[in-house]
Amino acid sequence: LQKNDNEVNALKHVTVLGSTGTIGQQTLDVISRHTDQYKIFALAANSNVDALLKQCLEFKPEIAVLLDESAALILREQLNVHHSKTIVLAGIAGLEQVSQHPCVDIVMAAIVGAAGLKPAIAAARAGKRILLANKETLVMAGSLFMQAVKEGGATLLPIDSEHNAIFQVMPPEGAWIFPSKGVKKIILTASGGPFRKFSQQALESVTPEMALKHPNWVMGAKITIDSATLMNKGLEVIEAHWLFNAKPSQIEVVVHPQSIIHSMVEYIDGSVLAQLGNPDMRTPIAYGLGYPNRIESGVTSLNLLEIAKLEFEPPDTQRFPCLQLAFDALDLGGTAPTILNAVNEIAVPAFLNKQIQFMDIPALISKALDSIQVASVASLEQLIEADAEARRFALQCLMSTS
């Protein structure tokens, strides 16, 4: 597959990893508004055959990938029924192929979990523009990934609303170098989730149904639970450390229930610059696609008179210990963030399946960080093994309590 000269001049070719998830769908929504500028080259998902089939028939990608190989076989058969020319690949190797393909200009890295790590690194080494929405890439392998970005000459644009906001208000010459241009502190805002005013006792009785009702954002199940525990913000602290070369002491978290200010940067002269907007992920997605220009996203204009009031309060790490656990893992360094992330990825589905209680999530993570030996990071293979070890530990703990 090769681009012809007209396509090279007219269109940017995009691979969307995690196309059936919330971020993937919103990416396709933004791209559908700018078909004169962008063309979908590849769509990739985990195992959702029906959703990916529908997307393939609408966007006609050159390649579709499903991580689940049996699901890929079904998709291939169904596309044949529709006489589609889309090629179907499977597994991590397929994800890596569409992330580093020479025809691709932009990779939206929005696969949830550790599965997104290898394709993101492949895109970095291939020098792509990476729109990074996968937290685990930086949480698990921040040093290795940032090194791959530098060595591959890739362009990295964070898509998390908070990091995207920070990037937008950082000095353009020093966006990735924290001490440059008088930057003093990063301030990450957090909605506080649906249980911001719950007592410790009330948190013990939280159900999955309650936790899945986020007050501001429309997100997938896993990230919604992470928002409710404040683990989502903890992971963002670790990401901010790698993205902006910030020490933990230079990263502050502030609860802002309205989710209108997406994050702020404080400068040494006393200035605090903030990025504001309605809570809609299409804004950072459009920024990433159009950078350094701006493109229309479909997001409703912000009406400050309607909002009238913006509130701020400190996070309570006693009631929501996941945030402090993330700071602790960052301080420990090495494989500690990998352990934190891996155990959380086991604990959240266990909570959703009602195997454990809401407050058992941070308890299991804390137990793992205390029990598993932390090592310095030497290779990607080592991190993958550390991830596997932490998952085995978490599963054993769950089995012993069931």
Q: Is the pLDDT of residue 180 over 70?
A: no
The per-residue pLDDT for 112 is 80
Q: Is the pLDDT of residue 400 over 80?
A: yes
Confidence band for 10, pLDDT divided at 50, 70 and 90: confident
Q: Is the pLDDT of residue 9 over 60?
A: no
CA–CA distance, 227 with 194 (Å, rounded to integer) = 9
Cα of first residue to Cα of last residue in the chain, in angstroms, is 51
Entry pTM: 0.90
Omega before 292 cis (within 30°)?
yes
Identify the bridge partners of residue 251 per DSSP, sorted by sequence position: 186
Identify the bridge partners of residue 130 per DSSP, sorted by sequence position: 107, 156
CA 330 to chain centre: 18
Tens-place pLDDT, residues 102-159: 999 999 999 987 789 999 999 999 999 999 998 889 999 999 999 999 999 999 999 9
User: Residue holding tokens 């012993």?
Assistant: 400
- 3-state SS class at 370: helix
| Opening angle at CA 217, ends 214 and 218, nearest 5 | 90
Q: Is the pLDDT of residue 2 over 90?
A: no
Q: Which two tokens stand for residue 180?
A: 């440059």
Task: Please give the average per-residue pLDDT across 227-244, as a whole number.
Answer: 95
Tally DSSP H helices, then E strands, for the chain.
Answer: 18, 11
* Lowest pLDDT segment from 139-148, 170-179, 250-259, 330-339: 170-179
The per-residue pLDDT for 113 is 76
DSSP state of 132: E
Q: Which two tokens stand for residue 243?
A: 């993205």
Confidence band for 363, pLDDT divided at 50, 70 and 90: very high
Residues 6+ apart with CB under 8 A from 165: 261, 262, 263, 264, 274, 275, 284
The per-residue pLDDT for 119 is 96
The per-residue pLDDT for 177 is 57
What mean pLDDT is reported for the chain? 93
Tens-place pLDDT, residues 56-85: 999 999 999 999 999 999 999 999 999 999
Q: Is the pLDDT of residue 5 over 60?
A: no
Omega before 284 cis (within 30°)?
no
Q: Is the pLDDT of residue 302 over 80?
A: yes
Tens-place pLDDT, residues 188-232: 999 998 999 999 999 999 999 999 987 666 667 888 899 999 999
Q: Is the pLDDT of residue 4 over 60?
A: no
Q: Are 299 and 217 contacting, i.e. CB atoms less than 8 angstroms apart?
A: no
Q: Is 333 left (phi over 0), alpha (psi -120 to 50) or beta?
A: left
Task: Please give the average per-residue pLDDT across 16-44, as a whole number.
Answer: 97
In order, the DSSP letters of 27-58 are HHHHHHT-TTTEEEEEEEESS-HHHHHHHHHH
User: Residue holding tokens 């299991």?
Assistant: 364
Q: Is the pLDDT of residue 184 over 80?
A: yes
In which element (H, E) is residue 266 found?
strand 261-267
Q: Is the pLDDT of residue 313 over 80?
A: yes
CA–CA distance, 76 with 129 (Å, rounded to integer) = 29
Q: Are 12 and 63 contacting, i.e. CB atoms less than 8 angstroms apart?
A: no
User: Residue holding tokens 């809401």?
Assistant: 358
Identify the bridge partners of residue 261 per DSSP, sorted by sequence position: 276
Task: Please give the average per-residue pLDDT across 273-298, as a whole number.
Answer: 96
Tens-place pLDDT, residues 368-388: 999 999 999 999 999 999 999
Q: Is the pLDDT of residue 176 over 80?
A: no
Instruction: Please choose, from the candidates 337, 194, 327, 312, the residue with its C-alpha nearest in 3D space to the C-alpha of residue 251.
Output: 327
Handedness of CA 349, 355, 358, 361 (dihedral sign): negative
Q: Is the pLDDT of residue 332 over 90?
A: yes
Confidence band for 171, pLDDT divided at 50, 70 and 90: confident
- Half-sphere exposure at residue 368, Cβ-oriented, CA atoms within 13 angstroms: 36
